[in-house]
Structure formats: structure tokens, C-alpha cells
Amino acid sequence: MTFGHSFPRTFARIDSRDQGGTAGRQGVIVQTKKVVLWGLGIFVAYTIIHSPARSAELVQIGFQGISDAAMNIGEFMTQLVS
């Protein structure tokens, strides 16, 4: 039964399964991230156990770099305000 107009009835399905298969790809990406993070964690643990002195040196270098960057940002902001 139509009331003067005959419009085609199209319904948009809003569902993760209806996005051209992207839900499957996102699952693969999540799994890949998990595998990479686990691998990285195992590598870090192995490195710390195998050579703790070198690991401590690398951590110290990393924190020194972060500290220097924060100090330089602070100096830049101070000069910007002056």
C-alpha cells in the first residue's frame, strides 16, 4: 500500500560486520599488537637478566635525555614569556 509516493525502501545497516570486512582486519591488528608487545617484553626481560649493567646504563641515558628535553622546553617557555 502506497500513499501517493513510491520510494524505494533502503535501510542502512550500522554494524561492525557491515564495513567491508574491517572488523576482521582490526582483530588481526589487535592480535599483532599483542604479539609485538609480548615479544618486546620478553626481549627487555632477557636483556635485563643477561646484562644488567648495560641495561642500567641505557635506562640512565634515556632518563637523562628526557630530563634534558624537559629542561630545554622550560628554558624555551621562559624566553617566550620574557
Segments making up each domain of the chain, as ranges: 21-50, 52-82
**Using CA atoms, how far apart are residues 70 and 82, in angstroms rounded to an integer?**
18
Q: Can you give the pTM of this predicted structure?
A: 0.48
| Confidence at residue 79, expressed as pLDDT on a 0 to 100 scale | 94
What is the C-alpha separation between 51 and 47, in angstroms, rounded?
Answer: 6
pLDDT tens digits along 45-67:
999 999 999 999 999 999 999 99
The low-confidence residues of the chain, meaning pLDDT below 50, are none
Q: Measured between alpha carbons, how far apart are the two ends of the chain, in Å? A: 76
